[in-house]
Amino acid sequence: MGRWHTGVLLCAVLATLSACDDAPTREPTGNIASGCGEDCDSGSSGGSSSTDGAGTSPTTAASSASGGEGSGSDSDGPATSGTPEVCNNDGVAQDDELCDGKDLGGQTCESQGYSGGTLGCFSTCTFNTGGCDTCGDAQLGNNEACDGEQLAGQDCVSQGFDGGELSCTDCELDASQCYACGDGSIGGPETCDGVNLGGASCESLGFDGPGTLGCSDTCELDTSGCASCGDGVQNGTEECDGGDYEEPDCNAQGCIDCIWQCTDTCGLELVYCCDDVFRC
């Protein structure tokens, strides 16, 4: 028993003196101690580490931990007295190991309090959260399309729109304030888009005659098809407006000479027709 206690004491001293070079910078709560240990619970082998442990380096012990003796170490006594299991890097997270290699024990960045990303594992069997993201920290994580003002150099045009203001919502690019002519919705400087006239009509724009409001291929309202009888301009479906009209051919009406007049409703009316060659 005296030798056993001596071994435990040596182990404690070695564990205190040794430290892992690749210890994580951010350790989750409930972390386990790392360092030597495997060489200290090998009492069954009559190992030299128990008796002359000072001659065994911690790094050598950690790298030689993969072996048959690891599985039987639980019954050896000292390891069960509150001392965490050693990280044996066998790819399987067991006992007090938070993780081991690719075995993350079912944990994810999300379960560790992050918004996403890829959780890793240090060779000390503690979580490597360096690949995890925090949405809202204004830092662009590997798995974030954007974060706050950080838009990863993207804008509406790069997203295939004509213009507008790209933003970020829940670390996803938000193009709701972008616009594109031809998408059927009115945005930015557009006054219409295709058949979407935004509720406008010839009448709402001040035209009082018959006509049809259109939309140009640059998404601007086109009033060339609207009419306003009395404005002096023949437009829309008007045959004339005041003196603005083109006289139809008199001969086509069976006249040698004729006079046209524009009515109050912007229609042309034949008011004189001479068909007698001796009187015209």
Tokens of 116: 């996403």
Place of tokens 């993969």: 66
Exactly one of 178, 241, 260, 262 binds Ca ion (CB under 5 A); that residue is: 241
Site string for Ca ion, 199-228 (x = CB under 5 A): -----------------------------x
- Does 147 sit near Ca ion (CB under 5 A)? yes
Give the residue among 259, 214, 265 at the shortest CA–CA distance from 239.
265
Nearer to Ca ion, 145 or 255 (CB): 145
- To the nearest whole angstrom, how small is the minimum distance from the Cβ of residue 249 to Ca ion? 23
User: Coil, helix or strand for 154?
Assistant: coil
- Does 158 sit near Ca ion (CB under 5 A)? no
- Does 193 sit near Ca ion (CB under 5 A)? yes
Torsion sign over Cα 156, 162, 163, 169: negative
For residues 239 and 268, give the distance between their C-alpha atoms in angstroms, rounded to a whole number.
Answer: 6
Q: Which residues pair with 270 in a beta bridge?
A: 260
Total of chain residues touching Ca ion, rule CB under 5 A:
16
- Does 137 sit near Ca ion (CB under 5 A)? yes
Q: Which of residues 251-270 bind Ca ion (CB under 5 A)?
A: none
- To the nearest whole angstrom, how small is the minimum distance from the Cβ of residue 198 to Ca ion? 11
| Angle subtended at Cα 142 by Cα 114 and Cα 96, rounded to the nearest 5 degrees | 45
For residues 221 and 235, give the distance between their C-alpha atoms in angstroms, rounded to a whole number.
Answer: 16
Binding residues for Ca ion, rule: CB under 5 A, are: 133, 137, 139, 141, 144, 147, 179, 183, 185, 187, 193, 228, 231, 233, 235, 241
